Amino acid sequence: MKLSQRIANTKTSATIAMSMKARELRSQGKDIISLSAGEPDFETPEHIKEAAINSINSGNTKYTPVDGMVDLKESIIKKFKNENRLEYKLNQIIVSTGCKQSIYNLCQATLNKSDEVLIPAPYWVSYPEIVKLSDANPVFVETNSETDFKVSGKMISERITDKTRMILLNSPSNPSGFIYTEDELKDIGKVLKNYPDIIIASDDIYEHIIFNEKKFYNILNVCPELFNQTVVLNGVSKAYAMTGWRIGYAAGNSDIIGAMKKIQSQSTSCTCSIAQSAAKAALDNGKLKVDDMVKEYQARNEFLHKELNDIDGFNYKKPDGSFYAFVDVNGVIKKIKGVNDDFDLAEYFLLNADVAVVPGTAFGAKNHIRISFATSFENLKQAVERIKKVLV
């Protein structure tokens, strides 16, 4: 079958591919512990489920406005005001089928062929592919663990050309888990202020999953003058354990949001009405549950940090947030016969330890693996035991 050139140029999502592989092996009877996808293991809180059931029973089962139900958009506006000190109007918000679709819509709506998008590396696996699906080119800004995998204003300015049209920022970061401080964002903002045509896409999906009382800042908190060129992307999947409900949203200037709406009107029409009611309940009244989940992630983070760093050849700094351990595994790769890179190592763990992790190369950082700790303590303990066993 002849398929499009676009498909030939697009990689399947590595996080999703690894989770599928784990699921398939499990269905064949293998006892796989999957530490691949970043998907909270907690149940969606009860009051959110109830809101969805009430929504069905009250007949909210038809198309909604393309950009989302007005009462949900009002809750999103309230959330931005109360949690982020950001002010938006209804025509500056769009609700989509997950944060991923918001990012996709944004790229489709603003990028042209050969435009360049700056992506700090390591990055979430889908950013470059979504950029390429818009015919634009990802330009990676390489970082390393010495700067906690973060970029500075200087690093960005060195990569800006007359083709640069967007920069993707993600804090806390997937996969590294580090957050940008106020000063670091100011430093980046100072550079981007000089380029009003560069869109700042701020993916804040992990904003609530932060440890040790560190604080989350959006670049607009420190550089409000960037409002016109900044699009904030977020969703309910990670914070409220609602991955399957597929609700994300974007906020930004009404021209960009209007263009995203046009794209959405020709793709999904709108997102699920019932899930939108559930998302409203999450945003209006879900913070206490989030705090409980974050406490648990933090305890797992402490556990993994100690246990994994005890293994000879594993090395990583404790992340500030998110639910990922991004581990330098160079030392282990060198020790195992037949294992030459992080892909081989992930395969080795899958086949020999029945543990699924994602190779770092998929995130733009070779010789690393990403371990998701959005799974039970019991699973993490067993996974560590299994990994230790195949490394002796």
Q: Give me the residues that bind ligand GLU (CB under 6 A), please.
A: 13, 15-16, 37-39, 100, 124-126, 174
160-173 core/surface letters (b: 16 or more CB in 10 A; e: else): beeebbbbbbbbbb
Minimum CB distance to ligand GLU, residue 191 (Å): 28
Tokens encoding 169: 């920022």
Residue 104 or 124 with smaller CB distance to ligand GLU: 124
Residue number with CB closer to ligand GLU (38 or 319): 38
The residue among 229 and 375 lying less far from ligand GLU, judged by its C-beta, is 375
Q: How far is the CB of 237 from ligand GLU (least distance, A)?
A: 8
**Distance of closest approach, residue 53 Cβ to ligand GLU, in angstroms:** 26
* Cis, bond preceding 120 (omega within 30 deg of 0): no
> Residue 98 or 189: which CB sits closer to ligand GLU?
98
Which one, 345 or 358, has the nearer CB to ligand GLU?
A: 358
Q: Is 3 exposed, middle or buried (0-12, 13-18, 19+ CB in 10 A)?
A: exposed
Closest approach of ligand GLU to the CB of residue 376, in Å: 17
User: What are 140's two structure tokens?
Assistant: 């990676």
Residue in the block written with tokens 């040790």 = 212
Query: What 3-state class would DSSP assign to 38?
Result: coil
Shortest spacing between CB 274 and ligand GLU, in angstroms: 21
Do the Cβ atoms of 116 and 279 come closer than 8 Å? no
For helices 377-391 and 287-309, angle between their N-to-C axes, nearest 10 degrees: 20
Which residues does 328 contact at the CB level (< 8 Å), separation at least 6?
145, 314, 315, 316, 367, 368
Closest CA to 263 of 16, 96, 58: 96
**Cβ closer to ligand GLU: 124 or 373?**
124
What is the number of the residue whose Cβ is closest to ligand GLU? 38
In the chain, DSSP finds a helix count (H) and a strand count (E) of: 15, 12
Nearer to ligand GLU, 37 or 270 (CB): 37
Q: How far is the CB of 39 from ligand GLU (least distance, A)?
A: 6
Least distance from ligand GLU to the Cβ atom of residue 144, Å? 20
